Structure 1
Amino acid sequence: MSIPAMLSANERNISESTVQDAEGNTYRTVQIGNQTWFAENLRSTRFRDGSKIPTAFIPNDEEENLLKYGRLYDWRDVSDERNICPVGWRVATDVDWKELEKTIGMAEEDIDKKGWRGDGLAITLKEVQPDTMFSKFDQSQVNKFKFSVRPAGIKWKRWYFVQGMYTEFWTASEATEAKAYNRTFAHSCWNWHKGKIYRSTLSKDYMFSVRCIKD
C-alpha cells in the first residue's frame, strides 16, 4: 500500500518496536527521523553492571505509577559511567534533543535558545493535550510522533515532590559543575506554554524522568 502523499518525510520515518532492559522491563520504542528513542520513561533500578541506582524514585511512592510514569533520577545517576540505559542505548544528550526538535519542525533559529521554544510542537510529543479555557489545540497533532510524554512530575532531593504539572527530562549534557541541561513540558491548567518545549539548565539534585536513545 502506498504512503499518502500528504505525509511528511518525518512522519513516514516513524516506526515502533520494543526493547528489554537487564531487569526484564519492556519498553516501547519509536523511530523519529534518524533517531530511535524510548517511547516510555526509564524504569530501571540497576546500572548495566548490576549495581543499584541510588535514586530511581517512583512518582508519589505509589507502585501503580511505575508503568505509567517510570522512575525519577538525579543527574549524577543519569551521567554515571555505569549507564542506566540498556546495552545499545544511552541517556539522550542536549544535542540529541535538539536533533529531535529539529526533526519535528522547530525553527533553526530557536534550536539553541533557552526558554520556551517551538510553539505548537510540544503537543506532537505529548500523549494527550486537552483544550483549556485559555487555549485550543489541534487534536490531530497530539502525539503525532508516538513519543508519549506523560506528566510524571519532579522530585527535589528527599523533601519535595509534585506530579501532574510538568514533565522534566534530564539530558546527559552537563552545563556547569552544579547544573545540567533538561527539557520541560507543561501540563498544569494555568500554564500558557503547553504547546512549547522548555530548554534550560537546572540543579543536578533534582530527580527527573529519563528517555534513552539508541547508540
Structure 2
Amino acid sequence: MKKLIYAAVALSAFAFSSCCDDDKLPDIKPADRGTVTDDLGNVYEWVRIGDQMWTTSNAKNGSDLADAEYYDNYSWTYVLDDSQVDEYQEEYMPIYGNLMTYDDAMNSAPEGWRLPSDEDWQKLERTLGMSDPDRKGFRGEGVAYAMQATDSGCELGLNLGGSVVPVQTYGWISMDWEWVGEYGYYWTSTIEPSYEAEQTFVYYRRLTANIGTVSRECMSSDCYLSVRWVKDVE
C-alpha cells in the first residue's frame, strides 16, 4: 500500500476553531463535544456544529472489506489477497476506518445517529459559509479547508478527507491505494432517482488535499466509501 502510513492524517489532537484562506467565511467553532460508541465497541469523538453533531473520524464497523467478494463469471473470488488484507486491517483501518457499500453504511450508525443525508451535508456546508450547496460539482471555496485537519491548528475538528475510493465496475473492484491521503469520499443516505440504470446511484461528498472546494456528485451504491454519522441536537 503506497506510503499508507506516511500519508496518514492525524485523528487525535484537535484544535477547535475554524479558519481558512477565504476571510468571507464565518468563524465557526464547535459548541460542544463528546463521544459515541458503535456496535463493535469502537469509540468516536463528535463535535457540535450549529444544531448538528458530527463524528470526527471514519466509522470502523460494518462488514470488513477484507471479506468482500466479487463474481468473475466463473467463481466467487476474494477481492484482496492475504498481503492486501493485512495492509487493510493493520494499516488502513486503524487510521481511516472501514470502507463500506451504501447498504452497509445505511446500517452502520449507533442508535440515535444516522448516515447523513444530502440535506444534512448541505446544512453543514451552509453553516460553514457555502452559498450554493445544492449545486453539483465542486462548490464553496475554502469550506473544505474548514472540514479537513491541517498543520496550522485551525481545523474545525471534523478531520474529513484522507481516505480512498475503490470503484466497482463490471464485477471487479479497483483499489486505488496510491491515493490514500489525497482524497476522501463519503456516503450520503440520499438516492438520486433520475439515473436510468439497474444500479442505484447515491449522492456523496469528495474532499481533495490542498483543494478548498467540496464536490457533490453521485456514485453507484455498490462502491466502497468512508462513513461519518450525524445527529440533531436535542
TM-score when normalising by structure 1 = 0.75
AA aligned to 2:28 is E
Identity %: 31
* Structure 1 residue 173 corresponds to structure 2 residue 195: no
Offset at residue 60 of structure 1 (A): 5.2
Instruction: Name 2:113's counterpart in structure 1.
Output: 89
Match of 1:61 among 78, 88, 102: 88
AA aligned to 2:110 is P
In the alignment of these two chains, the number of paired residues is 180
AA aligned to 1:32 is I
Q: Please give the residue correspondences for 1:168-207 in structure 2 after superposition, counting only pairs within 5 Å.
A: 168-176=185-193, 178-187=200-209, 194-207=211-224
Instruction: Name 1:125's counterpart in structure 2.
Output: 147
Instruction: Name 2:9's counterpart in structure 1.
Output: none
Offset at residue 13 of structure 1 (A): 4.4
Work out the CA distance in 1 between the residues paired with 2:220 and 2:29: 38
Unaligned 5+ runs, structure 1? 1-7, 46-52, 130-138, 188-192
AA aligned to 1:118 is G
Q: C-alpha root-mean-square deviation of aligned residues, in Å?
A: 2.5
AA aligned to 1:194 is I
Work out the CA distance in 2 between the residues paired with 1:112 and 1:105: 13
Offset at residue 12 of structure 1 (A): 4.7
Work out the CA distance in 1 between the residues paired with 2:30 and 2:88: 37
AA aligned to 2:135 is K
Work out the CA distance in 1 between the residues paired with 2:226 and 2:159: 13
Instruction: Name 2:102's counterpart in structure 1.
Output: 75
Query: Higher relative contact order at CA 8 Å, sep ≥6: structure 1 or structure 2?
Result: 2
Unaligned 5+ runs, structure 2? 1-24, 69-84, 194-198
Secondary structure at the aligned position of 2:224 is classed as strand
Contact 1:168 1:184 (8 Å CA) reproduced = yes
